[in-house]
Structures are given as C-alpha cells and as structure tokens.
Amino acid sequence: MNKPRLLKDWDETEAHRDQWLPLILDYQDGTLEGSEQQQLKQHLAECSACTADLEGMRQTVTILQRLPEKPAPRSFTLSPLQARRLKPSPVYRFSQFAAAIAAAFLIFAFALDLAGTFTPPAPASPVAVVTADPTATLEPIGTLAAAAGKPNSGSLGGLGGVQVTAANTQSANPTAIPAVTSKPGPVVNLGTSPDIRLVELALLAATILFSAFAFMARPRGPGRLKI
C-alpha cells in the first residue's frame, strides 16, 4: 500500500477514483439505489482498489466520529462594552461624522479666508458701535463685514436690511450655508451680517459641539478589542 507508485499508475488510480468514488460515497451513505447500486456492487466484486477505498472511507468515518468534542476554553459571550464597540450608538456615529464634516468645512473656510477671498475693504471709520454686542467683541473684524454690505450705516441700524445682506453673503459663499443655517442664530438675530469669520466661528463651534457629543456617546471603558 505504501509502495511508491509510478506516475502512470497514479493517474490511472485517480481517473478510476473519479469515476467510482461518487458512487462509493453514496453507497456508504446508503443513498445509492436501483441500477447504480447493482452496478457498483458488481464492480466492487471485481475491483480490489474500490473495495479498499470503500473500506478505508468507512474506517475513517468511524474513527473521526470517535473524536469527542473539545470543550471550549472559555465563554465567548459579548460584554456590553464589546457590543457597544462593535456597534457604536447612532448618536456616536452621527456626531463623529458631523464633527468631521464641520472640521473639513472649517479648514476650507479658513483657507478661503487666508486667501483673502472675503476680506472686505477696510472701511473709513471702524464701526466701533458694535462692541455692545458680545459676539461682536469676539469678532471685531466680522462686524466690519457689515461695512462691506452697507458701509454707510451702523450695523445696529441695519435691521431692515439683514435678510438681503445675509442672502448676498451666502450666495457668495455656498459652503457656509449649512453651518450658517444650523449654528449662528444669535448673530443673525442681532442683525450682524454673517461673513467668513462668523462662518468660521460657527464651524468651529459645530466641530467642538459634535466632538463633544461623540465623546459623550463613545463606547466607554477599558479593554482592547481585536477585530
């Protein structure tokens, strides 16, 4: 049995097996019926190789069936933490995504700002009136944008023209639209025309806010997860 076989013999054996093994397997399973069963029985009577194969397969099955189950070394149940890390909460995923988008827009707006696209011409008289407005104190240059739209009027006086001004500025800067509409409500209410600095501020706020959300909703706890 263990004698090295010639390649030619090997080929013949394999070809022979290709022909008969399917029948032998069905026969072993007890699903071979009718004429095929007769045919195989007849063949087995005269073919020692196939008889040996059938016997070999039977023995292998017997011995493999005796392999008892190996007990699992531990429980593989998921801890709540693992579950959360595998499927983070929708709030976490959304916040992460939104923070990333806001950050991307922020960088974009900042780049535009640096490039000077939205830098208004310096007005003759700085509109210092607006210092009463808390947001304006944070953003002195932002208030100058009011001057860009309506250089003649104090921005506090321009309440009537707010919408027009905002629309103008927004159409000039389409990227700012989502952030402007979502965030800087107070600024608009105060009648200051949004400009690129405000947009930047809003985006910064959005980035920080969503990052904070993501941080709060993150899957918590120690432990390493190999996935």
Partner 1 sequence: MQEEPEDFVVAAAQRGDLAAFNQLVTNHEQRVYNLTYRMLNDAEAAADATQDAFFQAYRALSQYRGGSFKSWLLRIASNICYDRLRSRNRRPTTSLDAMIEEAEKVGGTDLGLLEDPKSDPLDFATRRELARELAQALQSLPEEQRVVVILSDVQGMSYDEIVYITGASLGTVKSRISRGRLKIREYLHKSKELLPGDLRQ
Contact residues: partner 1, CB under 8 A: 1-2, 17, 21-22, 24-26, 53, 55-57, 59-78, 80, 82-83, 86-87, 225-227
Tell me how far, at minimum, the Cβ of 98 lies from partner 1, in Å. 22
Structure tokens at 50: 């196939």
**CA gap 47, 31 in Å, rounded:** 21
Instruction: Report the residue number, 27 or 210, with the smaller CB distance to partner 1.
Output: 27
**CA gap 115, 203 in Å, rounded:** 18
Tell me how far, at minimum, the Cβ of 112 lies from partner 1, in Å. 40
Tell me how far, at minimum, the Cβ of 223 lies from partner 1, in Å. 13
Tell me how far, at minimum, the Cβ of 49 lies from partner 1, in Å. 11
Tell me how far, at minimum, the Cβ of 20 lies from partner 1, in Å. 10
Instruction: Report the residue number, 53 or 133, with the smaller CB distance to partner 1.
Output: 53
Instruction: Report the residue number, 26 or 113, with the smaller CB distance to partner 1.
Output: 26
Q: With helix as H, strand as E and coil as C, how does 16-35 read?
A: HHHHHHHHHHHHHHCCCCHH
Instruction: Report the residue number, 27 or 105, with the smaller CB distance to partner 1.
Output: 27
**CA gap 142, 164 in Å, rounded:** 17
SS3 at position 89: coil
Question: Under 8 Å CB-to-CB from 55, ≥6 apart: which residues?
Answer: none
Neighbours of 187 (CB within 10 A): 22
Instruction: Report the residue number, 88 or 140, with the smaller CB distance to partner 1.
Output: 88
Residue with tokens 């072993």: 28
Tell me how far, at minimum, the Cβ of 138 lies from partner 1, in Å. 43
- Dump the DSSP string for 55-81: HHHHHHHHHHHTSPPPPPSS--PPPHH
Instruction: Report the residue number, 46 or 69, with the smaller CB distance to partner 1.
Output: 69
